[in-house]
Amino acid sequence: MKSEIIKDAIFCSRFDKRRKEIRKFVNLGYKKTDFLSMKAKHNSRRYKGINLITHQDRIKFLECLKTYTTFNLNAYSSRYNVTGIDYIKYHRPSSNGKGWVLIAPDEPGNNVYIEDNIILQFLSNKYLKE
């Protein structure tokens, strides 16, 4: 019974004493600091190993995409592909179909991969229209 009350309270988005789950939680003797620490611990366990992408990360990726001017489905990264002065950067969907790749053939350390459904859908609609 006690664990169910705690579980219901932790799934509330914020500490609002008007909600019955939070009132039951407070009646057990817990405080707001207890709620916040339990919620943080729950979220750290829940999202362990999952890279959460924020809106700022998406904006940063799209800003970086503006410098990668050429869309090339056949682009790949190679340490031995040195073009010298003609430095071209490519972007394309990833080969696994789950993300988008920014490829700099001359500098593989600058390659960027993002796996986000929103970005993938946006860029697919923009570049993969048939």
CA–CA distance, 24 with 40 (Å, rounded to integer): 20
Task: State percent of the chain over pLDDT 70.
Answer: 82
AA identity, residue 129: K
Domain parsing of the chain, residue ranges: 2-46, 55-127
Helix/strand/coil (H/E/C) assignment for every residue in 34-84:
HHHHHHHHHHHHHCCCCCCCCHHHHHHHHHHHHHCCEECCCCCCCCCCCCC
pTM for this prediction? 0.53
Reported as a pLDDT band with limits 50, 70 and 90, residue 66 is confident
Asked if residue 70 lies in contact with residue 102, where contact means CB atoms within 8 angstroms, the answer is no
Average pLDDT over residues 98-122: 82
Q: So what's the pLDDT on residue 15?
A: 94
